[in-house]
Amino acid sequence: MSSSKAVLDLYIQLRTENLPANAALEFLRGDIQALDSDERAALVKRVKRWEDSHRPDETVGFESFAETPTSPKPILKPLAAPKVSPPTPAYPPPKPKTGSIGNKQKDMASCPQCGRMNAAAEVLCFNCGAIMNQATLGVETVHFGQSGSMGDTTFFSAESTLVLVVRSTNFTFRVMPQKFSHAPVVGRSDNASFVPDLDLSDQNAAELGVSRMHIELQYDRKENTLTLVDMKSSNGTFINGLRVYPQERRVLRHGDELRLGRLVMHVYFQHP
At residue 99, the pLDDT reads 43
The verdict on 177 and 133 lying in the same domain is no
Residues 133 and 167 in one domain: no
The rounded distance, in Å, linking the Cα atoms of 23 and 17 is 12
Q: How many distinct structural domains can be found in the chain?
A: 2
Residue 244 has pLDDT above 90, yes or no: yes
Q: Tell whether 167 and 126 lie within a shared domain.
A: no
Q: Is residue 22 part of a domain?
A: yes
Q: Look at residue 235 in the predicted model and tell me its pLDDT.
A: 93
Q: What is the pLDDT of residue 252?
A: 96
- 96 located within any domain: no
Distance of CA 168 to the CA centre of its chain: 19
Neighbouring residues of 163: CB distance < 8 A, sequence distance ≥ 6: 172, 173, 174, 267, 268, 269, 270
State residue 44's pLDDT score. 85
pTM passes above 0.75 = no
Domain shared by 119 and 177, yes or no = no
Tell me which long-range contacts 178-182 makes (C-beta under 8 A, separation of at least 24).
Answer: 178/219, 178/221
210-225 burial string, b = 16+ CB within 10 Å, else e? bbbbbbbbbbeeeebb
Kindly tell me if the per-residue pLDDT of 7 is higher than 90. Answer: no
**Could you tell me if 206 and 241 lie in one domain?**
yes
11 pLDDT exceeds 70?
yes
- Answer yes or no: is 94 within a domain: no
Mean local confidence (pLDDT), 184-202: 90
Is residue 254 within 8 A of residue 261, CB to CB? The reply is: no
Strand partners, 264: 259
Q: Which residues pair with 110 in a beta bridge?
A: 117
Which residue segment(s) compose the domain that 130 sits in?
4-68+104-137
Residue range 91-148, pLDDT digits in tens: 455 554 444 444 444 467 777 667 777 776 666 666 666 665 543 333 333 333 344 4
* Pair 44, 62: CB distance under 8 Å: yes
Q: Is residue 252 in some structural domain? A: yes
Whether residue 165 is found in the same domain as residue 252 = yes
3-state secondary structure of 92: coil
Please write the tens of the pLDDT for every residue from 27-69.
Answer: 777 778 777 878 888 888 888 888 888 765 554 434 433 333 4
Beta strands per DSSP E along the chain: 108-110, 117-119, 161-166, 172-175, 185-187, 198-199, 215-220, 225-230, 237-239, 242-244, 249-251, 257-260, 263-270
Question: Do the domain assignments include residue 31?
Answer: yes
